[in-house]
Structure 1
Amino acid sequence: MKAVDVRALGGPEVLELVDAPVPVPGPGEVLVRVHAVGINAADWKLRAGAIDGLGAEPPFRLGLDFSGVVEETGAEVFGLVMSRWGAYAEYVAVPSGMVAPKPAELDHVEAAALPTAALTASQALADVRSGQRVLIHAAAGGVGHVAVQIAKARGAHVIGTARAANHDFLRALGADELIDHTAVDFTTTVSDVDVVFDLVGGEYGRRSLEALKPDGVLIDAQGNDASEDPRYRRFYVQPSGADLAGAARGIRVHVSQVLPLQDAVKAHELGESGRVRGKIVLTV
């Protein structure tokens, strides 16, 4: 089968299209013929060695999010796989508990764009209540635009930081207030927030504390500089087919670019630009 592997850490150019054996599913796993693969920020961070993951040095294969067909049954599924040998390939072996039936209203490209975004947003915002003020950083990104919808569905007043070009897009998804972070310091325009969902990281942590209520919570999905504050909570997504089936229900996912698997280098270059609205997907 064709696959895209990482043989050395580095820039997008280290992604290599290779011939690889079809994986043999182990106990409790299913073999999925991949139709599409969602691109995530974790992919280029793992590729560059910027975060720990996969439990090993190269070689390894990226690809958390996928949509495809279970080879033995023909059932259409989608899911999130955390493995040294990910979904940038024609086939992936994945524990059956990490996949869910693909919603009939989604094609494989849309389904592949959803797992990490839907699980991250729904799990991180699980305690959001009606009437709360929720600030979402990078609201137009892959996770952010899904988080806007989930927070709004739970009755929150949703505030997002995003470039002005993305404001109409986010209003259509339910955002109540929007801040152009390239033109305005959000700490001067928003306050009394119950929940901050930080999808940027770095120095956004301490700055976000200025907008947060004394009893609020800062949910950090990227790694920021506010970890000493008692309101800080570090978040890591937990793969679950059951959670995914519920989290993806009713979500509109925006796919900005669809590229073939062999263009994984270009997909990473686009993703790392920080200018992508929604998600990038590779088709297999």
Structure 2
Amino acid sequence: MRAVTYHEYGGPDRLSLVDLPVPEPKKAEVRVKVLACGINLSDWENLTGSPLYARLGGLFRPGRPVLGSDIVGEIVALGDGVTDWAVGDRVWAEVVMRGGGFAQECTLPVNRLARVPEDLDNVTAAALPQPGSIALAGTKGVKAGQKVLINGAGGASGPLAIQLAKEAGAHVTGVDHAGKAAFMQARGADRVIDYRSTDFADEDVHYDLILDLVGTRPMRRIAPILAHGGRYRLIGGTMRALFSALFVGFARGVVSGKKIGVGAAEGDPATLDRIGALAMEGKLTPEIAGTLGLDGVPEALAQVGAGAAAGKLVVLPNG
């Protein structure tokens, strides 16, 4: 089978399109033909090994050679002990610590599998697991009338978070570069800010929730623009930003009554079921920036790493 592999941390030049043996499913695993696989910023981080948490699978060398964690596939083989799934089932999974989706076939653990809604096409489904999980976790608890700011709102997760916050009745400000302004507005943003010309932290506006998908500012800049009782959630960014949110932000929050911390998104089967239901109700619609074959993965990852992709790029390993 064909797969995109890497064995050293670095840029897209570290990737190679090669032939690999078809993997055999182990106990409590299935093998799937990969129908579609979404590209995430986490794939770029795992490729480059930066931030440092991207090296959890291998400090000096990647622990797994194939990236791609938002996988839609058709089961083609069952491992020992698998009884709840059958060959031919169409499934999806979010396996950020495992990868394997940038290949024609891969194995998946059954405890991460969910059924893809019948009327949800493969490309749309592959654009949802990790971004949808982030959007759900990041907008949890949003109420009507609240002011929400989403930093990095023009990527994959941001547009979904905009939709969910608007569905809850919030006023939403999206932050990204000007080239994505119309894109953010089309997803429901009430206001957009071009970070290259305006620093949202300098404005005299207070927000009930700041969902930070890129982690570009220290807590001493963020805390003053949170409303009393407001929340800041960091999901993505540098180690410096992570440290600032976990420790400096927590201390500031205790003193000020604001809730500052790091968010976590869990793409477990129950979350995927909820994402699928919202997608079928028309409440969660990803923006597809384009589809590509395995040979286009290096260039696509470069786009994602540079923040140039407006929406989601999806790999179709089998054409």
Are 2:305 and 1:272 equivalent residues in the alignment?
Answer: yes
Residue 69 of structure 2 aligns with an amino acid whose one-letter code is L
Contact residue 128 and residue 275 of structure 2 kept, 8 A: no
1:22 counterpart residue number: 22
More helix by share: 2
Supply the distance in 2 between the matched residues of 1:158 and 1:280 (Cα, whole angstroms): 24
Are 2:264 and 1:236 equivalent residues in the alignment?
Answer: yes
2:232 counterpart residue number: 218
Query: What is the percent sequence identity of the aligned residues?
Result: 35
2:109 to 91, 95, 99: 95
Give the direction of change, closer, same or farther, for the CA distance of 1:26–1:128 in structure 2 (3 Å limit). Answer: farther
Contact residue 43 and residue 63 of structure 1 kept, 8 A: yes
Contact residue 6 and residue 15 of structure 1 kept, 8 A: yes
Structure 1 residues 1-284: aligned runs within 5 Å: 1-50=1-50, 51-53=52-54, 55-56=57-58, 57-58=61-62, 60=64, 61-71=66-76, 72-189=86-203, 191-203=205-217, 205-223=219-237, 224=241, 225-227=244-246, 228-229=248-249, 230=253, 231-248=259-276, 249=278, 250=282, 251-284=284-317
Secondary structure, counterpart of 2:32 in structure 1: strand
Partner deviation per Cα, 1:147-199 (whole Å, 9 max, x = no partner): 10111112222111123332232222221222122221212335221110001
Contact residue 32 and residue 94 of structure 1 kept, 8 A: yes
Supply the distance in 1 between the matched residues of 2:170 and 2:27 (Cα, whole angstroms): 42
Contact residue 110 and residue 253 of structure 1 kept, 8 A: yes
Contact residue 57 and residue 63 of structure 2 kept, 8 A: no
Structure number with larger C-alpha Rg: 2
Residue 93 of structure 1 aligns with an amino acid whose one-letter code is T
User: Deviation at 1:110?
Assistant: 1.7
Partner deviation per Cα, 1:34-93 (whole Å, 9 max, x = no partner): 011111111111111113345233352211111121224212222211344521111121
Deviation >6 Å, runs of 4+: none
Aligned pair count reads: 284
Residue 3 of structure 1 aligns with an amino acid whose one-letter code is A
| Between 232-241 and 140-149, the greater mean CA deviation after superposition | 232-241
Contact residue 36 and residue 72 of structure 2 kept, 8 A: yes
Residue 275 of structure 1 aligns with an amino acid whose one-letter code is A
| Between 16-25 and 31-40, the greater mean CA deviation after superposition | 16-25
Contact residue 8 and residue 59 of structure 1 kept, 8 A: no
Q: Which runs of 5+ in 2 are unaligned?
A: 77-85, 254-258
User: Deviation at 1:240?
Assistant: 0.6
Question: Cα RMSD (Å) of the superposition?
Answer: 1.9
Q: Which runs of 5+ in 1 are unaligned?
A: none
Supply the distance in 1 between the matched residues of 2:99 and 2:121 (Cα, whole angstroms): 24
Contact residue 245 and residue 262 of structure 2 kept, 8 A: no
Give TM-score scaled by structure 2 length: 0.83
Supply the distance in 1 between the matched residues of 2:73 and 2:208 (Cα, whole angstroms): 39
Residue 81 of structure 1 aligns with an amino acid whose one-letter code is V
Residue 35 of structure 2 aligns with an amino acid whose one-letter code is H
User: Deviation at 1:96?
Assistant: 2.2
Partner deviation per Cα, 1:120-163 (whole Å, 9 max, x = no partner): 11022222222221110111111111110111112222111123
